[in-house]
A and B are shown apart, each in its own frame.
Chain A
């Protein structure tokens, strides 16, 4: 490799197999977008399942959404949008070579993410306590009782056809997969903060920060779809 590295000492960020910095940047960008495309298809499988069952069991869906705490969901939506804004500031700071500001805005993003997880765990915990987790902790009597409390006047949930468990199964799978993406995002953010602290980025070169921003926006957008679909219907 030695004879290669000597050629490119004037371009410290260019990897040896690329001919130019421009080629490297464009390649990485295209790669990131393709990654997003596969992410969309990954969630697409769940959204397709959701759509079909919702058409099959509209009542169960309405009742399931009725048991959700819209205010907690709404708060979480705002928190996540806030974290998206803060990551925009981080990217902006990186572009202007402000290493400290990058740190600050990443910390804000992580803080908001933690708030999101806190609220989410309150919601999950509530469902666990009310025996509303299909398979793991489901008790027809208990769960239906809770659903009855939130049901519109004059509706008897015990007469409901099957389907309510599907709503909760999908609720946990979809929000769980979204949360998993956020956990991965946390790991990436911490890694980028370490790199930033070591001075790996400057205004010429900060692709990690920029692409993390894209990823985080994607995770945020998934939630923007999940919130109305699961809470508001």
Chain B
């Protein structure tokens, strides 16, 4: 790498073509990543607006802003859009697409056209879901439980179910693409044990995507058939069992939690290593714990159903396996903390998000133990405790990791550095706002407040009010974060090839933004991952 990229490279993937067509028909994995980034931000905003509306409604116990049907449609829309169109595809779709080939030294993913097709499938699914929302909404909750969804609901179940069904194939094909890419496209010398942990996380995620997603696809298709044609797969009137639906649904949707969080683990490992200037402590354990989580994660779905009339012995097995998932997760947290020990720590914006992630995700994980404990689960199931728990995992975990990753690789994506002061302000506000929003919900849930309640008993009002205030505080942090990032795009100053002085091929070998073909010279790997003693990391400051 001879050209010191102190200014924006003359040819990069962003300016390789300026027409709309050059974007919409691109097969460049980096451009597809940007397409996902734009689409996903829109979906995120829609989901966030829905949340803002019902959070205002919930500030008081009485129904004052929204009618009950509107409220039900809003929380359903929030759930479906956030889970299927933001949480699941965010890190793989944007960062995964952009980084997997760069990190392993490949020119592109294995199947570039399939990759573009995945984006179109994602968009098609999104359009179906938005159509369902515009044409009157859907009120089943994101879980589509039968027979409410298949027979009783008076809303657009077919459209929304088809939307999720279609989007599933986007996940499957992206997962397939990543597995093949990671297996077959690594640069010479990039052995498995030299892979960045982000890649290990993407690999584990992709396996769940390929093996889990088809099951929810067929399950939702059965619900659509049942509703559309009156087939009776889960309808008790015809002898069907609505609890079977729950089994099939959670067989995917519990592993889906790991689809959301594992890529986040990958991001966190990269950021911690970079801003501690150290190799991740216990690299092998962190790498294999991702695979362990993916594997065990397939056999714990029944802990969503302890009160559903499944057999108590099945519940026993699901409970013990759920506890076992906690162990590889604990290992990761211990190793990240140990990495900080005797590091050289810089509290940049991505690092603040990442340390926030560890704290919040740990609360999410530990409260998961409450829910794995059968007797406690019976009390807490379907209460606000569960709502708080999964928001700690999904928002405190996944969204923080996503923002950490976005801030970390932003200079690589666009060649521009954002204002670090405001980025940190945004991060701190989001952290505190998040805790104000969701911590009170643990208490409301332990007090017995069921989720999805439109009006509620006034004993819960103080917690809900605090939660609403916190949500708007957090929202203001998100706006600061968004404005800071977008403003950086208009800056004239170029950030340099490796502004963080990070290891990894994407920082050391590729320009910012990268060349359309990623690398301008052949890539050969001769060092372990995260080797911060290697002087080449600190070249061309």
Direct A–B contact present (CB less than 8 angstroms): yes
Chain A interface (Cβ < 8 Å from any Cβ of B): 4, 15-18, 23, 26-28, 30-31, 34-35, 37-39, 41-46, 48-49, 52-53, 56-57, 60, 134-136, 138, 161-166, 169-170, 172-173, 177
By the criterion CB–CB under 8 Å, are B230 and A41 in contact? no
Smallest Cβ-Cβ distance to B240: which chain A residue? A166
Taken together as a complex, chains A and B put the C-alpha atoms of A56 and B239 apart, in Å, by 9
Residues in chain A near residue B239, CB distance under 8 A: 53, 56-57, 60, 161-166
Write the nearest CB–CB distance from B192 to chain A, whole angstroms.
Answer: 15
Taken together as a complex, chains A and B put the C-alpha atoms of A138 and B232 apart, in Å, by 11
Residues in chain B near residue A37, CB distance under 8 A: 210-211
By the criterion CB–CB under 8 Å, are A45 and B107 in contact? no
Residues in chain A near residue B111, CB distance under 8 A: 27, 31
Taken together as a complex, chains A and B put the C-alpha atoms of A196 and B515 apart, in Å, by 36
Does residue B162 face the partner (Cβ distance < 8 Å to A)?
Answer: no
Write the nearest CB–CB distance from B522 to chain A, whole angstroms.
Answer: 9
By the criterion CB–CB under 8 Å, are A31 and B241 in contact? no
Interface centre among A18, A37, A41, A138 (most CB of B within 10 A): A41
By the criterion CB–CB under 8 Å, are B244 and A17 in contact? no
By the criterion CB–CB under 8 Å, are A169 and B232 in contact? yes
Taken together as a complex, chains A and B put the C-alpha atoms of A37 and B176 apart, in Å, by 10
Partner of B218, one of A45, A56, A169: A45
With A45-B248, A166-B238 given, name 11 new contacts (CB 8 A).
A16-B107, A17-B108, A31-B177, A34-B210, A41-B214, A44-B215, A135-B229, A162-B239, A164-B239, A170-B233, A172-B231
Which residues of B198-236 have CB atoms within 8 Å of chain A's CB atoms? Answer: 210-215, 217-219, 222, 225-226, 229-233
Smallest Cβ-Cβ distance to A46: which chain B residue? B218
By the criterion CB–CB under 8 Å, are A34 and B231 in contact? no
By the criterion CB–CB under 8 Å, are A38 and B184 in contact? no
Does residue B180 face the partner (Cβ distance < 8 Å to A)?
Answer: yes
Partner of A42, one of B107, B214, B225: B214
By the criterion CB–CB under 8 Å, are A134 and B110 in contact? no
Does residue B502 face the partner (Cβ distance < 8 Å to A)?
Answer: no
Taken together as a complex, chains A and B put the C-alpha atoms of A91 and B239 apart, in Å, by 46
Residues in chain B near residue A28, CB distance under 8 A: 110
Taken together as a complex, chains A and B put the C-alpha atoms of A52 and B241 apart, in Å, by 10
Write the nearest CB–CB distance from A126 to chain B, whole angstroms.
Answer: 18
By the criterion CB–CB under 8 Å, are A173 and B233 in contact? yes
Residues in chain A near residue B225, CB distance under 8 A: 169, 173
Known: A38-B176, A49-B244. A26 touches B184 (CB 8 A): yes
Smallest Cβ-Cβ distance to B181: which chain A residue? A27
Write the nearest CB–CB distance from B311 to chain A, whole angstroms.
Answer: 13
Residues in chain A near residue B180, CB distance under 8 A: 27, 30-31, 34
Does residue B106 face the partner (Cβ distance < 8 Å to A)?
Answer: yes
Q: Chain B: interface residue count, which band?
A: 35 or more
Write the nearest CB–CB distance from A138 to chain B, whole angstroms.
Answer: 8
Closest 6 CB pairs of A and B: A135-B230, A162-B239, A42-B214, A45-B218, A17-B108, A169-B231
Chain B interface (Cβ < 8 Å from any Cβ of A): 106-112, 172, 176-177, 179-181, 183-185, 210-215, 217-219, 222, 225-226, 229-233, 237-241, 244, 248, 517
By the criterion CB–CB under 8 Å, are B211 and A17 in contact? no
Smallest Cβ-Cβ distance to B177: which chain A residue? A31
Known: A38-B211, A49-B233, A162-B238. A17 touches B106 (CB 8 A): yes
By the criterion CB–CB under 8 Å, are A42 and B215 in contact? yes
By the criterion CB–CB under 8 Å, are B231 and A135 in contact? yes
Smallest Cβ-Cβ distance to B522: which chain A residue? A19
Write the nearest CB–CB distance from B410 to chain A, whole angstroms.
Answer: 25
Partner of A135, one of B108, B172, B213, B232: B232
By the criterion CB–CB under 8 Å, are B222 and A49 in contact? yes
Residues in chain B near residue A34, CB distance under 8 A: 176, 179-180, 210
Residues in chain B near residue A166, CB distance under 8 A: 232-233, 238-240
Write the nearest CB–CB distance from B436 to chain A, whole angstroms.
Answer: 41
Write the nearest CB–CB distance from A114 to chain B, whole angstroms.
Answer: 26
Residues in chain B near residue A15, CB distance under 8 A: 112
Known: A48-B248, A163-B239. A31 touches B110 (CB 8 A): yes
Taken together as a complex, chains A and B put the C-alpha atoms of A135 and B211 apart, in Å, by 31
By the criterion CB–CB under 8 Å, are B241 and A169 in contact? no
By the criterion CB–CB under 8 Å, are B217 and A134 in contact? no
By the criterion CB–CB under 8 Å, are B232 and A134 in contact? yes
Known: A30-B179, A31-B110. A42 touches B217 (CB 8 A): yes
Write the nearest CB–CB distance from A14 to chain B, whole angstroms.
Answer: 12
Write the nearest CB–CB distance from A222 to chain B, whole angstroms.
Answer: 13
Smallest Cβ-Cβ distance to B225: which chain A residue? A173
Write the nearest CB–CB distance from A161 to chain B, whole angstroms.
Answer: 7
Write the nearest CB–CB distance from B510 to chain A, whole angstroms.
Answer: 15
By the criterion CB–CB under 8 Å, are B183 and A30 in contact? yes
A-B contacts, 9 of them at CB < 8 A, read A17-B109, A17-B112, A27-B185, A34-B176, A41-B210, A42-B214, A42-B215, A136-B230, A170-B233
Known: A38-B172, A45-B214, A45-B218. A23 touches B184 (CB 8 A): yes
Write the nearest CB–CB distance from B168 to chain A, whole angstroms.
Answer: 10
Residues in chain B near residue A172, CB distance under 8 A: 231
Write the nearest CB–CB distance from A57 to chain B, whole angstroms.
Answer: 7
Residues in chain A near residue B238, CB distance under 8 A: 134, 162, 165-166, 169
Smallest Cβ-Cβ distance to B517: which chain A residue? A4
